[in-house]
Amino acid sequence: MRAPGQLMSSWSALLCALGVLFSLFSFGFAVKENDFKKCHQSGFCKRNRDYADKAVAQGSSWQAPYKILPTEASFKDGLFQATILKTIDEEGTTVELPLTVAFHKSGTARVTVDEKRRQEKNIELRHSSQARKERYNEAEKWAIVGGTTVDVDAKTSYVGETGIKIQYGPDSTFEASINYNPYSIEFKRDGSAQLKLNDRGLMNLEHWRPKVEKPPAPEKKEGEENAEDKKEEPAPEPVGEDESTWWDESFGGNTDSKPRGPESVALDITFFGYEHVYGIPEHAGPLSLKETRGGDGAYTEPYRLYNSDVFEYILDSPMTLYGAIPLMQAHRKDSTVAVFWLNAAETWIDITKAKESKNPLSLGKGPKTNTQTHWISEAGMMDLFVFLGPTPRDVTKAYGELTGTTAMPQEFSIGYHQCRWNYVSDDDVKEVDRKFDRYQIPYDVIWLDIEYTDEKKYFTWDNDMFKDPISMGQQLDAHGRKLVVIIDPHIKNTGSYPVIDELKSNGLAIKNKDGKDFDGWCWPGSSMWVDCFNPAAIEWWKSLFKYDKFKGTMENTWLWNDMNEPSVFNGPEVTMPKDNLHYGSWEHRDVHNINGLTFHNATYQALLSRKKGELRRPFVLTRSFYSGSQRISAMWTGDNQASWEHLGAAIPMILNQGISGFPFAGADVGGFFGNPEAELQSRWYQAGAFYPFFRGHAHIDARRREPYLLAEPYRNIVTSALRLRYSLLPSWYTAFYQAHQDGSPIIRPMYWTHPSNEGGFAIDNQFFVGSTGILVKPVVEQGKTTEDVYIPDDEVYYNYFTYQRLPTAKGQTLTVDAPIESIPMFMRGGHIFPRRDTPRRSAQLMKFDDYTLVVVIGKDGTAEGQLYTDDGDSFDYQKGEYIHRTFKLEGSKLTSTDADGRDPKSIKGGSWLKNMRNVAVDKIVIIGAPTSWADKKEVRLEAGGKQSTVKLEYFKGDASRGPFAIVGRVGASIGADWAIEFA
């Protein structure tokens, strides 16, 4: 979190003041926007946009200067290798860019372009820099975990002077058509073009060149830069290339020394016939990404990925936020394809949509829209993966194979988390804990922000305020509750603090451009940053978390990693200078977007090794993230505000995380900055109850707002939302398991669940929960008493609370009642989902409660669903200690069978599984039960080879309730096979 205006150095305060002045006169509220670069202030972005403009202006006479010599190309065992020649002057001088296209068994293709001269370290660095000479090629080390086995069955269907065609993927239905001059690659599926690299010829890889010294330009005066930014006149026509930002560039008083000169990589990618693109989090904007080069409703800036501590962030903006996942999906009716741009440097992405001129042969059909994208990164190799779908599920699955899927969570971590900056003492924590109990409000975790430490020295406690952290932990533990404490990557640079001494003496800090320990400003004042790219730093970090080292922590203490972009208060754009050096002599520029991941990875590793023999799933929350973070952490959307707009903005952001492989996501409930009024807070809990990560949080200046402080009826409304979350924990846990298995989102947008239903493609304010068929449309506007919900198919839908059937309305928007005490929540026919209906204080205390099954009969009379459960804590599930059931209603029979087809006798179990033998299906609620059951009093149950009868109650329905039936006191063990016959 950030405190506005706190601890700023004088220059940034001055800049802030200037920003305020500007904003008063011209920009309204966009103060903080000016702390961060626009494309034209980022040299390589401007150069590449200019390059694109030049290409577009020249139209068909534009000649892309990249080609492959057919004699230099080869294809063997699933690998295409060639050298791309870039022509760099009129004389035809070329530089060599090695190209590899790898075709993987998983159906993805990977295109990698490097630069020979830098590969061979045959360049000179300026300013006697100690940086590496190569282009950064280790992003995969952090992001990629599988899916790269090469498909040796990939084969050519054409080899000629002009190019090569390679068939690969399932039944060879995918094709890559590599064109030699100019270089481009078109990807087809079933013979039809899906996407093309370098379609518009905007590829640009800035090759190494020596600096040619020119007579110095007249010096700029202080402040001139800012004045320049404001000018609206177009820049003068560039003569030749714009070299002004090749060798150094300044922003906000910081100068980047750029020892390797210009080195950006850029490529355009066109998606044919695709009107919607999704992904590339993290941004606060709609799920369906907007155009970025002006026009109606479009942005004028590209989407930016440069992990930053952007506090008071702006909504509906392509501005960068805290994390980066460079995965973009393109979607049209019945087809999804995607591109994953594996690059860790600052990246900008322009998006435009172009209507193709009408094809006279496409009878009746309107002209197709192509989405054109332009990817621009400051440094590194050009390295990207192409996914050809054809479904959103195929894309998320293949991306999950590459970068890993979400970890199985600690079960408590899908309950409710209570946080604020700050609970001021151990007594305060104990009191909050007691109050939750007094008001019978469930929660699982209470959090401590930075103030628990002694002067922001991590791994210490403020001994005056936290006299006895262990007794605090023990009180929480009595009801199965946990404590999360914050540990940030900046280490206070001060005397008599062993952590900083060890960091320095072991040489584990990030270095400045001169190779000295980098010193910057953060919460503790002067600080240094642990460099978790360094394996030795991870080992050291692990040592700090041992219970006997980090005194005051115990088995129920877990971790929060904040500020890991990293946030540096006096650094350029509130982060590190790009010419800082990391382990392996990589510049910070090369690795910036991965930095956050390396830090929460180190913390994850540390939690695995707190005590010998203790092997439990770590819980780590991170603010900064990259592709792969999902394997080891949860994230939240950072410092939002207590406003209705922020409540609304959170849903598309969390949906975007879900489709981008990192579904364990949430937003600060109630809003971090400001004080939500009771209605807003209530609506926020109703929405938050459907965030995969559900945490209330508040700024230090915000008033106390624990749910029990609310006046009625709001306290009751919030308590109901929390209990609803807790009753559905078995379904949430099952959804996490599915995400863990195949990368699927935990809350799912309409395009993902209904890829054929065009009406849903732009809808990003309602979602399904896992595969439960539960459809939710949270209310995010003040004073609303009705809500519009879009129905994506012609299944039957029921109100979750009243069981009343909605009018059938495929493709229509229904208006439903949504007074403050209700959540628009529906059940889709054809699904079965599990619940636990006894309210308790925490998830842990529900562990061995009996289950309720809700069967929602579909149009065709059937229903199906799953339950997955395990001990929620250890890794024993990997050895088979779990329960995974499929429930099916077919004809008149409802069955429970092992979802993985295991023989129950073959499952070796420990104590958890033994306890689960006594956990039963207690109640089955059947929504849409046929009227033919009306006279039934009992049904036959077959379980464990024995027949018995159980009671059935049928409710006809009335004005306030739809018809349903309840089978009561079933008593069948949840892990065992059973069947109920309704006939």
Ligand X SMILES: *[C@@H]1O[C@H](CO)[C@@H](O)[C@H](O)[C@H]1NC(C)=O
* Residues annotated as part of the active site: 562, 565, 639
CA dist 576 and 506 (Å) reads 21
Cβ proximity to ligand X, 540 vs 569, nearer residue: 540
Cβ proximity to ligand X, 538 vs 642, nearer residue: 538
Site for ligand X in 65-124 (CB under 6 A): none
Cβ proximity to ligand X, 553 vs 605, nearer residue: 605
Listed as own residue / partner, the contacts of 700-705 with beta carbons closer than 8 Å and 24 or more positions apart are 700/3, 700/420, 700/421, 700/422, 700/449, 700/451, 701/3, 702/420, 702/642, 702/672, 702/673, 702/674, 702/675, 703/675, 704/420, 705/420, 705/670, 705/675, 705/676, 705/681
Residues 6+ apart with CB under 8 A from 918: 848, 973
- DSSP assignment, residue 433? H
Residues 6+ apart with CB under 8 A from 422: 448, 449, 450, 451, 452, 700
DSSP per residue, 316-356: S-----S----EEEEEETTEEEEEEE---S-EEEEEEEEEP
Contact 867, 734 (CB under 8 A): yes
Question: Binders of ligand X: how many residues, by CB under 6 A?
Answer: 5
CA dist 556 and 568 (Å) reads 31
Cβ proximity to ligand X, 162 vs 878, nearer residue: 878
CA dist 294 and 301 (Å) reads 8
Residue type, 202: L
Q: In what order do the strands lie in the sheet with 525-529?
A: 490-492, 525-529, 520-522
Instruction: Measure the CA angle with vertex 871, ends 865 and 873; round to 5°.
Output: 120
Instruction: Measure the CA angle with vertex 78, ends 73 and 82; round to 5°.
Output: 20
Cβ proximity to ligand X, 620 vs 642, nearer residue: 620
CA dist 132 and 140 (Å) reads 17
- Which conformational region is residue 785 in: left (phi greater than 0), alpha (psi within -120 to 50 degrees), or beta? alpha
- Per-residue binding letters, 511-540, with ligand X (x by CB under 6 A): ---------------------------x--
Least distance (Å) from ligand X to the CB of residue 606? 9
Cβ proximity to ligand X, 535 vs 713, nearer residue: 535
Query: What does the block give as tokens for 947?
Result: 């027949």
CA dist 66 and 85 (Å) reads 6
Cβ proximity to ligand X, 142 vs 964, nearer residue: 142
Contact 659, 749 (CB under 8 A): yes
Instruction: Measure the CA angle with vertex 291, ends 648 and 642; round to 5°.
Output: 20
CA dist 591 and 595 (Å) reads 6
Least distance (Å) from ligand X to the CB of residue 344? 12
Least distance (Å) from ligand X to the CB of residue 147? 15
Residue 388: name the closest of 347, 332, 335, 453 by CA.
335
Cβ proximity to ligand X, 404 vs 928, nearer residue: 404
Residue 809 CB coordination number (10 Å): 14
Least distance (Å) from ligand X to the CB of residue 142? 5
> Alpha-carbon torsion 207, 208, 210, 214, what sign?
positive
Query: What does the block give as tokens for 608?
Result: 């695995």
618 upstream amide cis, omega within 30 of 0: no
Least distance (Å) from ligand X to the CB of residue 594? 9
Burial 662-680 (b: 16+ CB within 10 A, else e): bbbbbbbbbbbbbbbebbb
Residue 782 CB coordination number (10 Å): 12
Site for ligand X in 605-624 (CB under 6 A): 605
SS3 category, 369? strand
DSSP per residue, 528-585: EEB-TTSHHHHHHHHHHTSTTTSTT--TTEEEEE-STTT--TTSGGGS--TT-B-GGG
Which residue has the closest beta carbon to ligand X?
601
Site for ligand X in 114-173 (CB under 6 A): 142
Choose, by CB under 6 A, the member of 106, 601, 627, 804 that binds ligand X. 601
Cβ proximity to ligand X, 630 vs 765, nearer residue: 630
Least distance (Å) from ligand X to the CB of residue 595? 12
Compute φ and ψ for 74, nearest 5 degrees.
-145, 150
CA dist 870 and 881 (Å) reads 7
Cβ proximity to ligand X, 142 vs 387, nearer residue: 142
Cβ proximity to ligand X, 144 vs 728, nearer residue: 144
DSSP per residue, 671-700: -SBS---HHHHHHHHHHHTTSSSEEE---T
Which H or E run includes 734? helix 729-742
Least distance (Å) from ligand X to the CB of residue 410? 18
Cβ proximity to ligand X, 418 vs 601, nearer residue: 601
Site for ligand X in 624-663 (CB under 6 A): 628
Residues 6+ apart with CB under 8 A from 365: none
Least distance (Å) from ligand X to the CB of residue 307? 16
Residue 264: name the closest of 201, 335, 202, 213 by CA.
202
Least distance (Å) from ligand X to the CB of residue 568? 23
Site for ligand X in 17-76 (CB under 6 A): none
Cβ proximity to ligand X, 469 vs 628, nearer residue: 628
Residue 594 interacting with ligand X (CB under 6 A)? no
Contact 939, 855 (CB under 8 A): no
Interface residues toward ligand X, by CB under 6 A: 142, 538, 601, 605, 628
